[in-house]
Amino acid sequence: MYVDLKSHDFKKIRIRDTSLIGGNFAKCNLSLSEFNNVNINGININRAIMIGCIWRDLKINELHTLDGHSDNVSTICYSPDSTTLAFGSEDNSIRLWDVKTGEEKAKLDGHEFASRR
């Protein structure tokens, strides 16, 4: 069964011991929510608000570790063709990463409030 949950307010929700594989949480407010023992493979969290979320014991097929920002990452978004991930950080930079290789494609420095929509 497919349920589209995009643009809903799930602030302070607690999700435990379940699978969210392929769930669509685009543009949702997940602020202050808790995720404990949850499978998040393939979920869509583009433009979701996730301030203060607590993530414990997540299950995901990790492909790459993307290191580079020197402060908190507050926004993550896929490109329309799903080949690039953009990360906005409180270090006032935006970094673009190749999804398949994990290589950094570009770094854009000096952006105030880079992670704001």
CATH of the domain at 68: 2.40.10
Residue 2 to residue 71: CA distance in whole angstroms: 36
Q: What is the pLDDT of residues 15-34, one digit of tens each?
A: 999 999 888 898 999 999 99
Question: Residue type for 5, please?
Answer: L
pLDDT at 105 over 90: yes
Question: Residue type for 107, please?
Answer: K
Which of these three, 60, 80, 95, is where a domain ends?
A: 60
Residues 39 and 84 in one domain: no
Q: What's the domain range around 43?
A: 1-60
Residue 62 to residue 113: CA distance in whole angstroms: 28
Burial of residue 98, with CB atoms counted within 10 A of its CB: 0-12 exposed, 13-18 middle, 19 or more buried: middle
Mean pLDDT, rounded, for 52-66? 84
